[in-house]
């Protein structure tokens, strides 16, 4: 059983409550209701890596409460507070916290973060420019002018290695920490399948042609809201033609080398962090 980072959440998303305004009102009135503690999109973790919660009475004046789901029958919310701005820059402090999450807790946080981020960037109707209102317990916005309904974005991203003769292709983006190499990745576009996006991205970035793409695993990635889809494609040969806008370098590495690096031994590259699906992908590939 593969368990990539940010998976394994235990909240029941309770879709039925989103469509039932009475049940939603009852959830808001439930004295046991909990509010996720966040400061500037960052959670508070206890010493066991569990998310901190407070009561919804602690939500700042003017907040709108988004229903994250039910913990048993206890409603759990996140607060969209007045003037909340999208997070800016790379969340370096956040990345440092990710290895501390208890299993499943990062998944709850990921859903909350992606949802809040989406609201902060989508206060207006893309169809007509009017300010929109929250509905469906925080899982949608509607336009009072043109009546368009808007739902949170999830952007599919393919992340993959090419394989040839028992070796995997890894790339290095400009500005990454020294020595870090990882799987290639890119956004899937309208009008293509996962398999086609994998082949296109590897061709664009490294000039390597692949076929027989196989799916390995997926994870949500809440910076801001991607669905990472990890795959392996079989390469025709090992000639690399680098797109130097996208990549600084690309290398072929053997299963033995990947296994050693993932086990913490020194090698030709630094491995991705364990919460990234590139880590899951390399682990699955290296173990054959």
Binding its own copies by CB under 8 A: which of 35, 77, 80, 108? 108
Give the number of other CB atoms < 10 A from CB of residue 100. Answer: 14
Binding its own copies by CB under 8 A: which of 61, 245, 264, 266? 245
Site for its own copies in 66-105 (CB under 8 A): none
CB of 81 vs its own copies, minimal distance in Å: 17
64 binds its own copies (CB under 8 A): no
The stretch among 75-83, 213-221, 250-258, 260-268 that binds its own copies (CB under 8 A) is 213-221
Spatial strand order of the sheet with 149-150 comes to 133-135, 140-142, 149-150
* Contact indicator for 211, 196 with CB cutoff of 8 Å: no
Reduce the DSSP state of residue 238 to 3 states and report it.
coil
Binding its own copies by CB under 8 A: which of 17, 51, 111, 253? 111
Give the number of other CB atoms < 10 A from CB of residue 146. Answer: 12
9 binds its own copies (CB under 8 A): yes
Binding its own copies by CB under 8 A: which of 42, 71, 192, 284? 192
CB of 134 vs its own copies, minimal distance in Å: 14
Q: Scan for tokens 């090698």, then name that residue.
A: 267
217 binds its own copies (CB under 8 A): yes
Q: What is the 8-class DSSP label of residue 138?
A: G
CB of 265 vs its own copies, minimal distance in Å: 30
For the record, the structure tokens of 87 come out as 């997070």
The stretch among 22-30, 52-60, 186-194, 268-276 that binds its own copies (CB under 8 A) is 186-194
153 binds its own copies (CB under 8 A): yes
* Contact indicator for 81, 62 with CB cutoff of 8 Å: yes
Rounded CA gap, 97 and 95, in Å?
A: 5
Rounded CA gap, 110 and 225, in Å?
A: 8
159 binds its own copies (CB under 8 A): no
# residues contacting its own copies (CB under 8 A): 60
Rounded CA gap, 204 and 198, in Å?
A: 10
112 binds its own copies (CB under 8 A): yes
Q: What is the 8-class DSSP label of residue 268?
A: S
- 26, 87, 118, 127, 148 from 145: Cα distances, Å: 29, 29, 21, 10, 8
The stretch among 34-42, 53-61, 150-158, 232-240 that binds its own copies (CB under 8 A) is 150-158
Give the number of other CB atoms < 10 A from CB of residue 245. Answer: 8
Rounded CA gap, 143 and 132, in Å?
A: 5
For the record, the structure tokens of 240 come out as 């690399």
Give the x/- contact pattern for its own copies in 118-137, rule: CB under 8 A: x--xxxxxxxxxxx------
CB of 252 vs its own copies, minimal distance in Å: 24
Q: Interface residues with its own copies (CB under 8 A)?
A: 4, 6-7, 9, 13, 15-16, 19, 107-108, 110-115, 118, 121-131, 139, 148, 150-156, 187-196, 200, 204, 215, 217-220, 222, 225, 227, 229, 243, 245
């Amino acid at each position: 059983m593969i368990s990539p980072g940010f998976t394994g959440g235990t909240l029941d998303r309770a879709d039925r409550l989103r469509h039932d305004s009475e049940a939603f009102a009852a959830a808001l009135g439930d004295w046991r209701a909990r509010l996720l503690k966040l400061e500037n999109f960052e959670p508070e973790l206890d010493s066991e890596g569990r998310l901190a919660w407070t009561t919804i009475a602690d939500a700042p004046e003017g907040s709108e409460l988004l229903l994250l789901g039910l913990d048993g029958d206890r409603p759990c919310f996140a607060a969209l507070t007045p003037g909340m701005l999208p997070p800016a820059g790379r969340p370096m402090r956040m990345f440092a916290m990710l290895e501390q999450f208890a299993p499943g807790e990062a998944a709850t946080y990921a859903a909350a973060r992606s949802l809040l981020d989406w609201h902060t960037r989508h206060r207006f109707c893309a169809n007509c420019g009017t300010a929109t209102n929250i509905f469906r317990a925080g899982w949608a916005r509607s336009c009072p002018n043109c009546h368009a309904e808007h739902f949170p974005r999830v952007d599919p991203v393919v992340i993959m290695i090419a394989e040839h003769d028992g070796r995997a292709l890894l790339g290095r983006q400009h500005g990454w920490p020294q020595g870090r190499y990882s799987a290639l990745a890119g956004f899937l576009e309208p009008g293509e399948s996962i398999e086609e996006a994998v082949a296109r991205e590897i061709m664009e970035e490294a000039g390597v042609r692949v076929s027989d793409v196989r799916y390995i695993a997926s994870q949500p990635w809440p910076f801001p809201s991607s669905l990472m889809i990890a795959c392996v494609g079989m390469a025709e040969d090992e000639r690399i033609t680098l797109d130097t806008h996208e990549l600084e370098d690309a290398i072929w590495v053997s299963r033995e080398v990947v296994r050693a690096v993932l086990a913490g031994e020194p090698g030709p590259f630094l491995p991705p962090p364990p919460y990234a699906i590139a880590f899951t992908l390399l682990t699955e590939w290296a173990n054959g």
